[in-house]
Every structure is written in structure tokens, then in C-alpha cells.
Amino acid sequence: MTIHLDPASPVPIYLQIVDQVRRLIALGALRPGERLPAVRDLAAQCRINRNTAARAIQELERDGVVRTQIGQGTFVAVEPPPSDSTEGEQAVDAQCDRLIVEARSRQMPLEQLPSRLWRRIDAFRLESLAEAAESEAASAAGNEAAPDADASQAGKGPRDRAPGESS
């Protein structure tokens, strides 16, 4: 899991982490049940304070995106967070309103927004497909490596192995 932070951004660091974890889940780069780095490891990876990393994880957990199991770690939620369709629609509408205000404040014709949005949707879908293919290739590479490890032991009986060598 790679997180890219922008310290110059007006968005707080913990929210940048929350947004990127949500994005990785949406892209399929993080799958349900997959373990996230420990708070300490996340803080070290991002070069941030542990409290900031903990706040991001707490926010994700509060939203039902991840589940923390004491002594085992934090995992992507297997079940998506419960969603009230009205609440979800209102959140998307609020984001659309922010987009419209931003476009207007930059003197962009509002007529350009639909085509720009479709380009971004297409880019998101392509990125999602690329993430899925990369994940599948990594999984296949991991599965191919396992038989090779056993190949060195193939055909060896208990007497053919060195002392302490197991099958």
C-alpha cells in the first residue's frame, strides 16, 4: 500500500490518508479482508506522527471502511459500510456543488463539466482495471513461486534429506 502525501495541501494529512485508502479500496488495490499496515508502520512509511496515522485509521474505522481486531491488526471491512441511500446521495450532491463552485470560481464554462467528468470516470475505470491486472499478476507470481520451492525436495525420501531438513 503506497500513500502519497502533499504537505503543502490545505487538506489535513490524516484526511489525505483516509481519501487514499478509500481510493485504493475503490480501485481494488485493497481488497476486503486485506490487512493494513500497523499504525506505527503507516506512520513510518508516510513519515508522519503516529497520532496522525492513528487518527486516519480511527476515521476509517468510524466510517466502517476498516475493522480493527485487537492483537491482529486493521483490515479492510468485508462488508461495505451501511449506507443510507439518501445520505449517500446528499454527500455526492454536496461534492457536485463544490465542483460547480470551483469551476465557476476559475471561470470555467459549466458546460465543460459533463465531458470532464466522463473523462475522469474513464480514467478511473482504466486505473481500476490496471490495479486489478497488477494484483492478479502479483498473485499468480506468488502462486508460481510456491511449487518451485517444493521442487528442490521432490523425489527426496527421508533418508535423502540433510539432518534437520524437512519436507
37 within 8 A of 1, measured Cβ to Cβ = yes
Per-residue pLDDT reduced to its tens digit, 69-125: 999 999 999 976 666 678 778 888 999 999 999 999 999 999 999 999 999 989 988
H/E stretch holding 105 reads: helix 85-105
Angle between the N-to-C axes of helices 39-46 and 50-62, in degrees from 0 to 180, rounded to the nearest 10: 120
pLDDT of residue 144: 63
